[in-house]
């Protein structure tokens, strides 16, 4: 029901307005209803775009403008998740657990872990074989998130010889799968 119908229903018991076709009171209620419909539509857009979980266009772009770097997230849901992760960054984000919660702000699944070397952390991409797409942008965001006093090492996942031997019986099986060397090393 639009606002014109709502106003007519609301005002009808008063008996003051006549809602006949062409009456001044009918036109007045019609114009007020149209104005309220327009305001409601605008407020609906503002509400949708103002919240990270529902934003689609302008809202996401404006939220991304708040950050020094735009997340390298390709899809709508990934952009929303990345923005939400970046909004969680605060002064208490210096533990490994907090950094890992925040790293999803780079737009790809990443995981940081301490190494045996003091002051060195390793960043892995568990769901990505090889170097992630848009790695330069992702690395810049990750380095902005990880405290600057830590040296950061990026670790990329490729097919190991043990996995190769377990997956393929011989080289003929690899050739039958029509793998190139590049596609084979990413077949994890």
Q: What is the pLDDT of residues 22-60, one digit of tens each?
A: 788 788 888 999 999 999 999 999 999 988 889 988 888
Same domain, yes or no: 34 and 83: no
Structure-token pair, residue 39: 């305001």
Q: Rounded to whole angstroms, how far apart are CA atoms 113 and 129?
A: 18
What is the strand order of the sheet 111-114 is part of? 111-114, 120-129, 151-157
Q: Rounded to whole angstroms, how far apart are CA atoms 163 and 159?
A: 6
Same domain, yes or no: 112 and 137: yes
Q: Rounded to whole angstroms, how far apart are CA atoms 9 and 98?
A: 55
What residue numbers bound the domain in which 123 lies?
72-157
Q: Give the chain's domain count.
A: 3
Tell me, yes or no, if the pTM score tops 0.75: no
State residue 91's pLDDT score: 64
């Amino acid at each position: 029901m639009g606002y014109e119908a709502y106003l007519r229903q609301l005002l009808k018991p008063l008996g003051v307005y006549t809602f006949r076709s062409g009456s001044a009171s009918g036109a007045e209620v019609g114009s007020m209803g149209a104005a309220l419909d327009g305001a409601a539509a605008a407020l609906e857009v503002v509400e949708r775009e103002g919240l990270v979980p529902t934003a689609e266009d302008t809202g996401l772009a404006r939220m991304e403008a708040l950050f020094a770097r735009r997340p390298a997230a390709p899809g709508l849901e990934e952009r929303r998740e990345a923005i939400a992760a970046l909004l969680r960054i605060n002064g208490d984000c210096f533990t490994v657990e907090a950094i890992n919660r925040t790293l999803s702000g780079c737009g790809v699944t990443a995981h940081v872990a301490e190494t045996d070397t003091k002051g060195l952390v390793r960043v892995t991409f568990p769901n990505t074989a090889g170097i992630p797409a848009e790695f330069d942008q992702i690395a810049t965001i990750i380095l902005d998130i990880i405290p600057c006093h830590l040296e950061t090492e990026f670790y990329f996942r490729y097919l190991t010889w043990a996995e190769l031997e377990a997956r393929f019986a011989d080289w003929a099986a690899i050739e039958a799968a029509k793998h190139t060397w590049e596609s084979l090393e990413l077949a994890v």
